[in-house]
Amino acid sequence: MKRIGVLISGGGTNLQALIDKQGSVIKSGEIVCVCSNRSDAYGLERAKKAGIPTRVIRKNADCGGDDAEFNHRICAYMKEMDVDVIVLAGFLAILGGELLTEYADRIINIHPSLIPSFCGDGFYGLKVHEAALSYGVKVTGATAHLVNEITDGGRILLQKAVYIEDGDTPELLQKRVMEQAEWIILPEAVEMVCKQI
């Protein structure tokens, strides 16, 4: 069994999908810890309910706003927990340095669009869906990909398309993309990587 560390920043519905699919879709790994860069992230409650250890590491409050220190602390926690694979499940800070070297090809991110559309710096959360709606695309979706030094630029593992519907708002679209794509392909991508390494 590979040991999985999950990084979150918010509600943690993707974390919940991972927890719920342990043993069914995720057969080659288990979630051993959850780390959040926000102390008020609801995902921390989800982890606690599932009996998973948690840690909060904040860039400004704990690391003096220093990127290298922030990455170092997260990396040190992952090492302490003997993590093999890191999953960014709605983690809205950019990772770099040490963590990317130590965990090369072992960090998975879920992004709420069909990369290479609506991705890169500044495209996260609802902003992605606002951009898709204002561009007027008829199909969007989600992408599970490996993380490298280019924001949303690592190798694509899985993608799933979702249709835009009449009357969509960013919030409605976000919910449909989560339900029809993210919560399905993220656990599948995690299993792919755990099985392969």
Nearer to ligand GAR, 83 or 128 (CB): 128
Tell me: does residue 110 bind ligand GAR (CB under 6 A).
Answer: yes
10 Å CB burial of residue 160 (0-12, 13-18, 19+) is: middle
Residue from 5, 13, 37, 86 touching ligand GAR (CB under 6 A): that is 13
The CA distance from 17 to 143, in Å, is: 15
Structure token digits, residue 111: 């992004």
For the chain, state the CA radius of gyration.
16
CB of 128 to ligand GAR, least distance (A): 6
Residue from 86, 111, 157, 162 touching ligand GAR (CB under 6 A): that is 111
Parallel, antiparallel, or unpaired for β 139-146 and 156-163? antiparallel
Tell me: does residue 70 bind ligand GAR (CB under 6 A).
Answer: no
Q: Where are the alpha helices (DSSP H) in the chain?
A: 13-20, 43-49, 59-63, 67-80, 97-102, 126-135, 170-177, 183-196
Interface with ligand GAR in residues 168-197 (CB under 6 A):
174, 178, 182
How many residues of this chain bind ligand GAR (CB under 6 A)? 18
Residues contributing to the site for ligand GAR (CB under 6 A):
8, 10-14, 43, 89-90, 110-112, 124-125, 128, 174, 178, 182
Active site residues: 111
